[in-house]
């Protein structure tokens, strides 16, 4: 958060998406700590993916997005997260979504459950809320990644309430109270199985 509170450099990757010094610094810290913690598990990170070769002999690797929602970070609206998942044989078995601006973590693991961990390290079990019949769907949409696919999906969905948020904050919010349709790339980090429709 030290970088967030001051001026910072921004460059653009080959695909023209922005990259800040916070992305790079977070990537270095996270990958270094994961290597110390689990030296036998390779790391696939969005900011250093070229270093990844294959999962280890047990089919495991870490999947990391050190700063998801870079555009939101640049806008300083607090809607960005840090995402780390342990993948085993192509499936997420453990995941952490950190929301630095709120000083909270969302953690989950197979056979463990999902929890919100606040700034005082208090854990609260969380579950996806059930939708009451004949009520509008709550749809959380990325502020920065809306497009024709979303419009087509919403037309198919029917009555709904659209709630714009940053990409990663939407997952954190979802884990507390709602349901969402989103991009496949983001799903392993949160442990949400792919869905094409509700």
The residue extents of the domains of the chain are 10-125, 137-190
* Buried/exposed 48-75: b ≥16 CB within 10 Å, e otherwise: eeeeeeebeeeebbbbbbbbbbbbbbbe
Distance in angstroms (rounded) separating the CA atoms of residues 27 and 150: 30
Q: Is 100 in contact with 196 (CB distance < 8 Å)?
A: no
Q: Is 106 in contact with 85 (CB distance < 8 Å)?
A: no
Say whether domain 10-125 belongs to CATH 3.30.540.10: yes
pLDDT per residue, tens digit, the chain (198 aa), is 677 676 777 778 877 787 778 888 889 999 999 999 999 999 999 888 788 889 999 999 999 998 887 787 778 777 788 999 999 999 999 999 998 888 889 999 999 999 989 899 999 998 877 778 888 887 777 666 566 777 888 888 888 888 776 554 554 544 443 333 333 334 433 333 333 333
Contacts of 124 (CB under 8 A, 6+ apart): 115, 116, 117, 118
Residue 83: CB atoms within 10 Å: 25
Distance in angstroms (rounded) separating the CA atoms of residues 138 and 154: 11
């Amino acid at each position: 958060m030290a970088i967030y509170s001051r001026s910072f450099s921004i460059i653009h990757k080959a695909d023209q998406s922005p990259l800040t010094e916070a992305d790079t610094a977070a990537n270095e810290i996270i990958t270094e700590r994961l290597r110390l913690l689990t030296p036998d598990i390779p790391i696939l990170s969005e900011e250093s993916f070229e270093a990844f070769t294959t999962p280890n002999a047990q089919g495991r690797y870490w999947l990391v997005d050190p700063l998801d929602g870079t555009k939101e970070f640049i806008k300083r609206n607090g809607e960005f997260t840090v995402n780390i998942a342990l993948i085993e044989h192509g499936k997420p078995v453990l995941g952490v979504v950190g929301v630095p601006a709120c000083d909270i973590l969302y953690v989950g693991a197979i056979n463990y459950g999902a929890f919100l961990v606040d700034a005082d390290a208090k854990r609260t079990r969380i579950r996806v809320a059930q939708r009451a019949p004949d009520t509008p769907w709550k749809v959380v949409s990325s502020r920065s990644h809306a497009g024709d696919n979303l419009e087509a999906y919403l037309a198919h969905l029917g009555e709904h309430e659209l709630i714009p948020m940053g990409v990663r904050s939407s997952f954190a919010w979802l884990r507390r109270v709602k349901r969402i349709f989103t991009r496949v790339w983001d799903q392993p980090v949160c442990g949400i199985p792919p869905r094409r429709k509700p």
